Chains A and B, each alone.
Chain A
Amino acid sequence: MFGKLISIELYKIFRKWRTYIGFIAIGVLLPIILTALYYEGSNYINFSMRALKGSFLVVGNLLNGYLVGYLILQALIIHIPFLIVLVGGDLMAGEATAGTYRMLAIRPVSRFKILTAKYLSGIMYIGILLLFLAFMSIGVGSIIFGTGELLVYSNKIYIFPASDVIWRFLLSYMFAMLSMSTVFGLSFLFSSIVENAIGPIVATMALIIIFIILSALPIESLAWIKPYLFTNHMNGWMTFFADPVDWSEITESALVLGAHSVGLYLVSLILFLKKDILS
């Protein structure tokens, strides 16, 4: 029964054209990035390795599918939230806009199940979108550029053996899933409050932008607030591309994001259970 509810919600999600905006954006952007990297990628490698090339003879294919996957994840992950809120903001409010809220609520299915099915369908949408991103970046990148060692340019220059890369991507994408679930949870909460999808989409985007700016500002008087902003933990996936991996930092970020996701879902649930549906 619950599975049926989820499949109905997924059907509703994928019937709306706005659901495909994220896929279209990734589908258009990635070929452009891949083409640019095909022609200019060696410049990036040379720039990253310039400190070493004066003293060392360097061989090997560092411009490969793993590097492409890493660069794309790094560049796009901060923009994926804007694609996710398009769906998250519409899930509940869309029913109100379409005038189907009351009809939905009078069916012999509890409000708890309705909301949970919508929430889980939204989470599945995120999973599918991220899988598409992984396929387009790592998959297509590996077909075009091959595989090999991964060059990561962060607090150090890391070169990970090819055999040491897949698990890092796997965990990074799982972490990204958690980050995006938090963003989705926020838009879902706003969506359950109002009756028009535009409001939750814009409000979530605005809040994320405010949080990101507050996280990035190097002002000491604002430093205390940073640990409480979930946006500050969203880049935790990058920690998997360090050696050694700082598991305590990842755990802390995962707990903060997980608590936000669960908290936002519970608040949405309480609001929906108590909601007086008049439309």
Chain B
Amino acid sequence: MFRILLIALLFLSNDAFTQDKDADEIIKKMQTVFDGIKDYKVDMTISVDMSFLKVPKSKATLYFKQPDKVKLDSKGFAMLPKEGLTFSPGKMLDFAYSAFYIKEEKVGESNTHVIKIIPDADSARVLLTTLWVDSKFNILRKIKSTTKSAGEFEIELTYADPANIKLPSTAELTFTFDQNKIPARIREEIQKESKDQKNQNSMNGKVTIRYENYSINKGLPDDLFKEDQ
């Protein structure tokens, strides 16, 4: 009888057990994988789709060096979302938090661990973050986050060769944009065009980035980052 009760208890509390056991461990593994990348350089093709903004498809080069050095370089105009810019878990989770393992879920063809991140302090810029971490390669497949200043955003990453290159080949970022940040004249025009957004405080945007020609761990000099850190 006692054995039956114990097994039932184990089944019922399965989620609680996995929370304590796995979430921090999975994030740690993901961080370890990313820490293996000391620096990288990558060419990007960026497409921005926002209702109040018409931007041509742009090309830029992103330089990254651990722990948080970033440089964006382009011959012409380019814009890149600040959120999830470098895929660094340490940068994305740069606040005290509690991590909870939720479940396993498929993202595309990959099995992922779904982890919810809740900040410990009210002062954190993030309210809630959900991570989908590839269970085989310990890389980030998807992130969904609600922030205080930038609203909601979701990044879905695909990898061309995850076994060898732990950095994505495409990133699709969808986000909400606070309409109050847009100048009134443009806001009125957009609302005229889109009646369904008339009573909303935010509008949606999408940025698609294609990454090519990764150059990883080639020893980027610190001088490179002097201007645009």
Contact = CB atoms under 8 A, between A and B. Distances in A.
A56 interface: yes
Given A54-B181, A155-B186, A164 B74 contact: no
B45 to A, nearest CB: 14
26 contacts: A51-B181, A51-B182, A54-B149, A54-B181, A55-B81, A55-B83, A55-B177, A56-B79, A56-B81, A57-B70, A59-B60, A59-B73, A59-B79, A60-B74, A60-B76, A60-B77, A60-B78, A149-B76, A149-B77, A155-B185, A156-B51, A156-B52, A156-B53, A157-B53, A161-B76, A162-B76
Interface string A102-137: 000000000000000000000000000000000000
B63 to A, nearest CB: 12
Contacts of A58: 77-79
A216 to B, nearest CB: 15
Contacts of A156: 51-54, 186, 189-190
A149 B76 CA distance: 7
Q: How large is the interface on B (under 10, 10 to 19, 20 to 34, 35 or more residues)?
A: 20 to 34
Nearest to B188: A155
Contact of A57 (B52, B82, B181): B82
A148 interface: yes
B53 A52 contact: yes
A42 B38 CA distance: 35
Q: How large is the interface on A (under 10, 10 to 19, 20 to 34, 35 or more residues)?
A: 20 to 34
A61 B183 CA distance: 22
Interface in B71-112: 72-74, 76-83, 85
Interface of A: 51-52, 54-62, 148-149, 153, 155-162, 164, 243
Contacts of B77: 58-62, 148-149, 159
The 9 closest A-B pairs by CB, nearest first: A60-B77, A155-B189, A149-B77, A161-B56, A56-B79, A158-B54, A58-B79, A159-B55, A57-B80
B37 interface: no
B74 A59 contact: yes
B34 interface: no
Contacts of A54: 149-150, 181
Of B79, B80, B189, most A-chain CB atoms within 10 Å: B79
Of A57, A161, A162, most B-chain CB atoms within 10 Å: A57
Of A58, A62, A162, most B-chain CB atoms within 10 Å: A58
